Structure 1
Amino acid sequence: MKIKVGDIVARHSYKCDVFFRVIKIVDSQAELAGEDMRLLADAPLGDLKLVSAEERIKKREQVKEVEEKSYRLFRQDAKLMKQRSEYEGTDHYTTEPSYFELRGRVLHIDGDSFYLRKCTELYQKLGIPVYGVHIQEKEMPEQLESLLEMVQPDILVITGHDAYVKSKGEEEEVRAYRHTKYFAECVRIARRFCPHRDQLVIFAGACQSHFETLIKAGANFASSPERINIHALDPVYIVAKVSLTSFMEHVGLWDVIRNTITGDKGLGGIETRGVMRIGLPYIKSEKDK
């Protein structure tokens, strides 16, 4: 069967370990984007296997199980954080809850519109205010500053697809990565806009991104320390933790990374304060009455 743009495929040369969407075909070469991983790859059409509906369903069930585990862990942490907030905001549980929360606002810029939709759905499920924008990675630096001025976020996510291409250089060379240089340039632009790492918290990177470059550029959290693939939803779990943590508290690095799907081999960061603020008094709306 002829492979076309939009098909879900796997690579024979990699034992069909990752499922991809075909995003472009030029002559006999296909450009691929990971179906669940933020990975970009090229492959000859002859190396591709069309994934059947049954295989997609089986893979989706496996991925969903992992995603739900991360979601449950996050909800457990969120519940504990809320209990602490109630304790502080209600005179140590002696009165009715009377505070309101200003959760950190996220500007999420994503190079993949499909992933952006998935991430936005999860932000909404977690109760995180978000403004999402789909921009191709190469165009992100040109548009970032105007978006920062318009949205005025507490948290910035710069992500999409990336990959280490061995033929372009050694692993420590940024030029050997498809999109790390664009992510890093975005981080530098954002740091000129807001130099303080606790006033604008930044997550940057995708699959196999050059972690050290992104952290040195000014990111609080980034991928990928061991150059592995990261899951499409990993950035959401990291910044949601920051959004829901009080600005009076530090976000525990292990606490934030353990709730992700990929873990510390694919994600890392530096000590960072939360951005949520509690206010008084709480004014009941009609729906609360």
Structure 2
Amino acid sequence: MSINIMDIVGRVSYHCDIIFRVIDKKEEDGKEIAILYGEDMRLIADAPIDDLVIVSQSTRERVTKELVSMEEQSLQLFRQDVDLLKQRQEYEATDGYSKSSNYFQIPGRVLHLDGDPAYLEKCLTLYEKIGVPVIGIHCDEKEMPLKIGKLIDYYRPDILVITGHDAYSKAKGKKGDINAYRHSKHFVQTVKEARKRIPHLDQLVIFAGACQSHFESIIHAGANFASSPYRVNIHALDPVYIVAKISFTPFMERINVWDVLRNTLTGEKGLGGIDTRGVLRTGMPYNKDQNDEYY
């Protein structure tokens, strides 16, 4: 059976542990090589065509069902967290419920750059479900350092997400060598360019990285949160859960890193960060008749 671009495949040598889609092909040392993007993991990989098999529809449906279940569980836990935050904010804004709840809230605005248009659409759908204001832009990882400055100037986000695909290659060097990673150096460069515009860690909160990314370099470049401390794969939606938590946390409160990570699909092996302030702003008064279209 021939393997074509956009086919959904698994790697025989890895027991089809991850489902990929074929996004390109190339010739290398006389062999036909497929370029693969993970369907649900932010991983990019190369594989010989003869190591690939088409994943059956039944297998895809089974894996999708399992992942949807995990996503729904994470979303439910996240919503519980947000509800608790809102209850506490209402209590404080109404002086212990002794005054009317005549206030409004402005969550942090997100600028999300993604190297994969399909993943970007999935993330935007989740942002909408959660209620996070977001601008999503598809941008090739290599182009991100060149474009990020003007995008920050134009959109003025509170939170910046820099993600796409990445992978560590043992053949290219040790895990400490950033050149052994597909796109980590581009994420690092993009974070550095963003910090030239807004150096303060609490004025622009940054998440950067993808599967197996060089976590330490990205954090040292100026990111608040990054992947991947243990060089594991991260789920496509993990960046959304992290920045949504930040978006809905009041700016006077410090975010405990574990509180951010515990409801993600990957957890602390794939994600990490530093203590950061929230970005939610509360104001008053709230005129329901005039302001519904804004808040």
1:31: which partner in 2?
A: 35
CA distance in 1 between counterparts of 2:38 and 2:89 reads 39
Letter in 1 for 2:285: P
Please state how far the C-alpha of 1:172 moved relative to its aligned partner.
0.4
2:56 matches 1:52: yes
Deviations 1:210-241 (A, max 9, x none): 00000000000000000000000000000000
Greater than 3 Å deviation, 4+ residue runs: none
1:15: which partner in 2?
A: 15
Higher mean C-alpha deviation, range 251-260 or range 222-231? 251-260
2:244: which partner in 1?
A: 240
CA distance in 2 between counterparts of 1:179 and 1:106 reads 22
RMSD: 1.0
2:2: which partner in 1?
A: 2
CA distance in 1 between counterparts of 2:245 and 2:95 reads 25
Q: Where does the alignment leave 5 or more consecutive residues of structure 1 unmatched?
A: none
Please state how far the C-alpha of 1:2 moved relative to its aligned partner.
1.2
| 1:156 aligned to which of 156, 160, 174 | 160
1:125: which partner in 2?
A: 129
| 2:65 aligned to which of 41, 44, 61 | 61
| 1:72 aligned to which of 76, 100, 117 | 76
Letter in 2 for 1:9: V
Q: Where does the alignment leave 5 or more consecutive residues of structure 2 unmatched?
A: none
Please state how far the C-alpha of 1:102 moved relative to its aligned partner.
1.0
1:146: which partner in 2?
A: 150
Please state how far the C-alpha of 1:287 moved relative to its aligned partner.
9.0
| 1:98 aligned to which of 99, 102, 105 | 102
Q: Equivalent residue of 1:43, what SS?
A: strand
Q: Equivalent residue of 2:160, what SS?
A: strand
CA distance in 1 between counterparts of 2:195 and 2:289 reads 38
The TM-score with structure 2 as length reference comes to: 0.96
CA distance in 1 between counterparts of 2:144 and 2:213 reads 16
CA distance in 1 between counterparts of 2:47 and 2:79 reads 39
1:250: which partner in 2?
A: 254
Q: Structure 1 191/286 Cα, relative in aligned 2: closer, same or farther at 3 Å? A: closer
2:292 matches 1:282: no
2:234 matches 1:230: yes
Letter in 2 for 1:133: I
Deviations 1:117-141 (A, max 9, x none): 0000001111000000000101111
Letter in 2 for 1:209: S
2:178 matches 1:174: yes
CA distance in 2 between counterparts of 1:286 and 1:271 reads 37
Q: Equivalent residue of 1:285, what SS?
A: helix
CA distance in 1 between counterparts of 2:225 and 2:2 reads 41
Letter in 1 for 2:12: H
Please state how far the C-alpha of 1:188 moved relative to its aligned partner.
0.4
Q: Structure 1 210/77 Cα, relative in aligned 2: closer, same or farther at 3 Å? A: same
CA distance in 2 between counterparts of 1:2 and 1:153 reads 45
Identical aligned pairs, as a percentage? 59
CA distance in 1 between counterparts of 2:101 and 2:67 reads 38
CA distance in 1 between counterparts of 2:260 and 2:98 reads 31
CA distance in 2 between counterparts of 1:145 and 1:266 reads 27
- Aligned positions, number: 288
Letter in 2 for 1:67: E
1:83: which partner in 2?
A: 87
2:215 matches 1:211: yes
Please state how far the C-alpha of 1:89 moved relative to its aligned partner.
1.2
Letter in 2 for 1:153: P
